[in-house]
């Protein structure tokens, strides 16, 4: 699917191609087919943006999107399908807050969470990894007046293995469940992945079961957690489907085009899918947990790429008599090659998967991890490093919980002009919880088992003693 800017650029290129063919005096059929393609693209552009294509004038903010500002600007692209920026420091998150119309997580909010829960805020909050929110104060107001809320997050199972970036929202959700002691629903959008990827329904469903093991192994409260596959739950829950239909009735094609950039050539499944991701935001989609109550507020932790779905959901909620869900947004765990893109399952070399062996992890980090912009180790030593763009150091900000130790590594990293990997090597024994270069991370991660894959909804089982994440993180830190 193309964004308005992508389509504008493709149109510009096609305009040039037509001119070129004409200048070369190409045969009539060739000219005709290039012109027809240009005209069709202009129609798509008009449908997508509500504007006529004009060479040299990129699209402005789309008129039909009344749920929030357009997704992409010249530098940063952030949407559910693509995250990219030209800056080595990563996406400009302050700019994104303005563009998406969300609120920055200020120190005052972090302090309030600490006060209300009586717990030290998670390091993702202390370090600004969760950086933006919608209506979090409302959740805390409700909680203080003894009204409960519930958590909702999800995963689109596009492969058997999740990567480390996917764990960021799940880890944080686990912490939120622990400190607030609230129910959690986890949506596995196997239907979404079938619609978007070249995968069979059977594969998508199988990936749901595989990925659920990694999610379960994060250690959620088995009595308060419901993990479900869309392919199973949609058919099994009339309440859920009723909410899907309500959302579908109140969002127009123009609105989803404006928010997600769908075009006329996208299949109708994609166009109606956002309603399915919206439905878990309403408590009466889960009568087995909340009875017929539709007034239990929902809090959604996710990376900010998922925000378009929930801008749409928040826009439609009051129109169908429901509360708007609140959100907590995280930054992106960067690709090995640098923070210009997020770690993504579609590029195996950009990612560390939970099924990678320790040896594979070591190789990937050594071969691909961007370490501060200097071409050689010698140059690096001479000129010093820059933790702002050093991927290995960025990974530590996500995973090394000890603030003092992190600061020490940062200072050493600058002062001694050593690569972060070298600093890690020296400190490895401090973190080594048994990772060996030859051992399969997957052998040791001891995924939780799902007893009966045929059951219609996934039952949460006891998490293993040795948690996937602990093992995995120690592996990354040790081997970096
Ligand atoms: P998916 O499978 O793309 O991603 C799952 C969760 O991981 C987040 N994420 C990341 N976080 C940090 N760094 C990264 N590099 C990174 N890559 C992905 C995503 O934001 C997401 O929170 N359509 C969704 C599934 C879904 C969902 C939800 C997600 C359904 N309902 C509610 C969040 C909340 C998807 O395909 O996610």
Q: How many angstroms separate the CA atoms of 114 and 62, rounded?
A: 40
- Shared-domain flag, residues 202 and 297: yes
Helix (H), strand (E) counts: the chain: 22, 11
In a domain, 121, yes or no: yes
Q: How many angstroms separate the CA atoms of 475 and 253, rounded?
A: 46
Residue that finishes a domain, picked among 311, 335, 359: 335
Predicted pLDDT of residue 70 = 44
Predicted pLDDT of residue 210 = 94
- Shared-domain flag, residues 323 and 437: no
- Shared-domain flag, residues 248 and 274: yes
- Shared-domain flag, residues 395 and 329: no
In a domain, 356, yes or no: yes
Model-level pTM? Answer: 0.78
Predicted pLDDT of residue 2 = 58
Predicted pLDDT of residue 6 = 63
Q: How many angstroms separate the CA atoms of 480 and 467, rounded?
A: 20
Dihedral pair phi/psi, residue 34, rounded to 5°: -65, -40
- Shared-domain flag, residues 331 and 352: no
Q: Which two tokens stand for residue 433?
A: 């919880």
Mean pLDDT of residues grouped by 10 in the chain (480 residues)? Answer: 64 77 80 85 76 66 40 72 87 93 97 97 97 98 95 96 94 97 97 97 96 92 95 96 98 94 95 98 97 96 97 97 98 89 82 86 80 60 69 88 87 63 43 33 44 36 36 37
Predicted pLDDT of residue 45 = 75
Altogether, the residues listed in the chain come to a count of: 480
- Shared-domain flag, residues 94 and 237: yes
In testing the pocket of ligand 1, which one of 169, 273, 278 has its CB within 8 Å of the most ligand atoms?
169
- What domain range includes position 19? 4-49
- Using the Cα atoms of residue 22, residue 28, residue 32 and residue 33 in order, give the sign of their dihedral: negative
For residue 193, the ligand 1 atom closest to its alpha carbon is 36
Predicted pLDDT of residue 382 = 58
SS3 447: coil
Residue 46 belongs to what H/E stretch?
A: helix 28-49
Residues ≥6 apart with Cβ < 8 Å to 318: 324
Predicted pLDDT of residue 435 = 33
Residue 126 belongs to what H/E stretch?
A: helix 123-126
- Shared-domain flag, residues 321 and 357: no
Residues ≥6 apart with Cβ < 8 Å to 20: none
Q: Which two tokens stand for residue 320?
A: 């169908």
Residues ≥6 apart with Cβ < 8 Å to 111: none
Q: How many angstroms separate the CA atoms of 375 and 308, rounded?
A: 38
Pocket, ligand 1, Cβ cutoff 6 A: 152-156, 165-166, 168-169, 187, 189, 192, 277, 300, 302-303, 305-306, 330, 332-333, 342-343
Alpha helices by DSSP H, listed for 127-166, are: 136-144
């Amino acid at each position: 699917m193309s964004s308005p800017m992508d389509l504008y650029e493709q149109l510009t290129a096609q305009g040039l191609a037509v001119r070129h063919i004409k200048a070369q005096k190409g045969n009539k059929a060739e000219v005709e087919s290039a012109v027809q393609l240009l005209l069709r693209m202009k129609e798509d552009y008009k449908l997508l943006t509500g504007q006529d294509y004009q060479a040299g004038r990129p699209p402005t903010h789309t008129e039909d999107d009344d749920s929030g500002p357009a997704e992409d600007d010249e530098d940063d692209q952030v949407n559910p399908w693509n995250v990219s920026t030209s800056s080595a420091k990563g996406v400009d998150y302050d700019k994104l807050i303005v563009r998406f119309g969300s609120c920055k997580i200020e120190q005052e909010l972090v302090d309030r969470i600490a006060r209300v829960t009586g717990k030290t805020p998670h390091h993702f909050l202390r370090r600004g990894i969760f950086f933006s929110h919608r209506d979090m104060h409302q959740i805390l107001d409700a909680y203080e007046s003894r009204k409960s809320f519930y958590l909702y997050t999800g995963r689109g199972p596009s492969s058997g293995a999740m990567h480390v970036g996917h764990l960021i929202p799940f880890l944080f959700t686990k912490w939120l469940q622990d400190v607030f002691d609230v129910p959690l629903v986890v949506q596995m959008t196997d239907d979404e992945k079938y619609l978007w990827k070249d995968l069979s329904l059977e594969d998508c469903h199988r990936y749901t079961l595989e990925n659920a093991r990694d999610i379960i192994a994060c250690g959620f409260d088995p009595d308060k957690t419901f993990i479900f596959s869309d392919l199973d739950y949609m058919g099994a829950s009339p309440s859920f489907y009723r909410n899907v239909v309500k959302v579908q009735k109140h969002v127009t094609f123009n609105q989803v085009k404006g928010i997600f950039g769908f075009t006329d050539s996208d299949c109708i499944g994609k166009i109606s899918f956002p309603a399915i991701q919206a439905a878990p935001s309403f408590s009466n989609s889960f009568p087995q947990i909340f009875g017929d109550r539709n007034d239990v507020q929902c809090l959604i932790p996710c990376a900010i790429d998922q925000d378009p779905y929930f801008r749409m959901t928040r826009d439609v909620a009051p129109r169908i008599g429901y509360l708007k869900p609140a959100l907590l947004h995280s930054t992106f765990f960067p690709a090995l090659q640098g923070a210009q893109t997020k770690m993504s399952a579609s590029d195996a070399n950009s990612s560390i998967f939970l099924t990678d062996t320790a040896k594979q992890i070591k190789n990937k980090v050594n071969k691909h991890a961007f370490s501060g912009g200097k071409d050689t180790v010698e140059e690096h030593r001479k000129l010093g490093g820059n933790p702002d763009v050093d991927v290995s150091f960025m990974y530590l900000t996500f995973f090394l919980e000890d603030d003092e130790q992190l600061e020490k590594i940062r200072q050493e990293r600058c002062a001694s002009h050593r690569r972060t990997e070298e600093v890690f090597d020296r400190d490895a024994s401090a973190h080594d919880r048994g990772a060996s270069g030859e051992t399969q991370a997957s052998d040791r991660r001891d995924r939780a088992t799902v007893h009966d894959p045929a059951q219609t909804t996934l039952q949460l089982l006891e998490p293993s003693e040795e948690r996937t994440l602990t093992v995995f993180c120690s592996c990354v830190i040790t081997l970096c």
